[in-house]
Structure 1
Amino acid sequence: MPIGLATLYPSPVIGHRGACALAPENTLASFRQAARDGAAMVEFDAKLTADNRAIVFHDDDLERTTDGTGPVQDITFEALSGLDAGGWFSPAFQGAQVPSLEEVLDCAQDHDLAINLELKPCPNRVEETARVVLATAALQWSADDRPPLISSFSRAALAVARDLAPSWPRALLCDNLPDDWREQAAILRVQALHLGDVELSPATIAQVKNHGLAVAVWTVNDPERVRFLLAAGADAVFSDDPGAIRKALG
């Protein structure tokens, strides 16, 4: 299924978890900050609570970005809503909540933000997470809307996305380019690879691009490195401060 680069990446700079250098990651404040700074696209992580609500949250545990403790998959959405997800970042954001997926999708649509929805399942909930997240997202999309880009490190989650939402583009996330990337790209029918910026070379980018796949690189906050990667053929980068990178690129 040919999908143009403009559909995958409306801008070469994607806000990583919103604008998480300036606001607490994966909160509505972070996505609104990205929109204010001119981002055209944001990335975020989706997983499930104990009662199968799709939420936007990165870690498997609560401690790093909330005042709660324990595994995310053991807490109900109601209990999660009572946690502070902003005070860890700055007192100015105290009281920010972990948002539901529906809230983030509404925010993205209100601010005309394209989205990269990463399936980030908790342990042992891979297929279930993919099914619930995709079903939740599908309720808010019409055929005329720009499709969300679905990505994941989990090949099993991407297989669910391939089967349940075949018209939505997909990207395989990798720390480094795996030996079986061509085989997996064909099996999962992905349109892109999202590669970590650890010793990523122009030769690796060219190898993937020559295979007909797009390349986006995470997470890049140095403008000179962004220029280098884009000149080397990368189609987009993920940045914690998309506004600053956009400004530096001119």
Structure 2
Amino acid sequence: MSGAASSTPPGPSGVGRTGPGLPWPYPRWIAHRGAGKLAPENTLAAFRVGASHGYRMFECDAKLSADGVVFLLHDDTLDRTSSGHGVGGDHAWSALSQLDAGRWHSRGFAGEPLATLEGVSRYCQANACWLNIEIKPTPGLEAQTGRTVAAAAQRLWRSHPNQRPLLTSFRPEALQAAMATAPELPRGLLLDTLWNGWMEMARSLECAAVVCNHALWDAGLVATARANGLRTLAYTVNDDWAVQRLLHLGLDGIITDRVDLFAPGP
């Protein structure tokens, strides 16, 4: 990681609705990119490592291949976290699927492939886990990525509505497109700074949550978010002092790399 209520008719247990004030099924503890730094980020291997430490919710980064497949990658480029080179979104999935996304981390993960959202959805559903999908567009593809990720999530979780993922992004255009495509999927606005108009934007996007750099949270900001019906999440929280401060503030979600240090509770 560097609103008004929805007009969608309610369904059982809030299914078919999103926005502020609705039931919040997600665990407080969220494993960043699957398992933080213990495994190659955004791979199924990372999800398995995170789960081995007791985590039942994971954050990941989703973008589009050149032929429209939703796959997991944080950076715009492939170079840091795979054997590939150049902009990830410029390559077709047939080429991306052949890359090694594990050896950069350690020899034990050599040969681990890039993950697709479809593969991750199967893992989460089989293991009763939740997912925070950060929509991470290749620059210039914000709306297209938001639409495609939301449509894919809507389809992939259709038979598991009580495990539906949380869609987040720093890019309002991506969240706007996601809302237009799958309004029932909960959304969260990611914030690294409290830029002018952020609350109005969260309302217009009918967000269920705001996900802030952990240093931004204080009692006043928590109160403001709650007064507007928004859940409160923080990233990326890796120090005990920061965790204790956020727990004292009563945050709803803590995204961490340190799955080995913090045992996930309620």
TM-score range (shorter-chain normalised) is over 0.9
Instruction: Find the counterpart in structure 2 of residue 239 from structure 1.
Output: 256
Alpha-carbon distance, 1:48 to partner:
0.5
Q: Does 1:4 align with 2:23?
A: yes
Q: Which runs of 5+ in 2 are unaligned?
A: 6-20
Off by >3 Å, runs of 4+ in structure 1: none
Q: Deviations over 1:138-177 (max 9, x none)?
A: 2222264322111111101111121111111110001022
Task: State which of 7, 10, 14 in structure 1 corresponds to 2:30.
Answer: 14
Instruction: Find the counterpart in structure 1 of residue 13 from structure 2.
Output: none
Bigger RCO of structures 1 and 2 (CA < 8 A, at least 6 apart): 2
Q: Is the 8 A contact 1:56 1:98 kept in 2?
A: yes
Residue aligned with 1:151, SS: strand
Q: Is the 8 A contact 1:202 1:233 kept in 2?
A: no
Instruction: Find the counterpart in structure 2 of residue 193 from structure 1.
Output: 210
Q: Is the 8 A contact 2:234 2:254 kept in 1?
A: yes
Q: Does 1:209 align with 2:226?
A: yes
Alpha-carbon distance, 1:243 to partner:
4.7
Residue aligned with 2:101, SS: coil
Measured on the aligned residues, the alpha-carbon RMSD in Å equals 1.7
The amino acid that maps onto 2:66 is: A
Instruction: Find the counterpart in structure 1 of residue 124 from structure 2.
Output: 108
- How many Å separate the matches in 2 of 1:168 and 1:227? 30
What TM-score comes out, normalization by structure 1 length? 0.92
Instruction: Find the counterpart in structure 2 of residue 157 from structure 1.
Output: 174
- How many Å separate the matches in 2 of 1:24 and 1:178? 32
Q: Is the 8 A contact 1:193 1:215 kept in 2?
A: yes
Q: Is the 8 A contact 1:171 1:191 kept in 2?
A: yes
- How many Å separate the matches in 1 of 2:261 and 2:101? 24
Alpha-carbon distance, 1:76 to partner:
1.2
- How many Å separate the matches in 2 of 1:134 and 1:199? 28
The amino acid that maps onto 1:192 is: A
Q: Is the 8 A contact 1:66 1:84 kept in 2?
A: yes
- How many Å separate the matches in 2 of 1:45 and 1:53? 13
Instruction: Find the counterpart in structure 2 of residue 173 from structure 1.
Output: 190
The amino acid that maps onto 1:33 is: V
- How many Å separate the matches in 1 of 2:79 and 2:48? 24
- How many Å separate the matches in 1 of 2:158 and 2:149? 16
The amino acid that maps onto 2:22 is: I
Q: Does 1:67 align with 2:77?
A: no
Aligned length: 246
| Structure 1, 177-186 or 90-99: larger mean CA deviation | 177-186
Q: Is the 8 A contact 1:202 1:229 kept in 2?
A: no
Q: Is the 8 A contact 1:54 1:133 kept in 2?
A: yes
Task: State which of 119, 122, 144 in structure 1 corresponds to 2:135.
Answer: 119
Instruction: Find the counterpart in structure 2 of residue 54 from structure 1.
Output: 70
Q: Deviations over 1:103-149 (max 9, x none)?
A: 11111112211111111110111111112222222222226432211
Instruction: Find the counterpart in structure 1 of residue 10 from structure 2.
Output: none
- How many Å separate the matches in 2 of 1:58 and 1:83? 15
- How many Å separate the matches in 1 of 2:78 and 2:123? 23
- How many Å separate the matches in 2 of 1:186 and 1:207? 13
- How many Å separate the matches in 2 of 1:229 and 1:179? 24
Instruction: Find the counterpart in structure 1 of residue 113 from structure 2.
Output: 97
- The sequence identity of aligned pairs, in percent, is 38
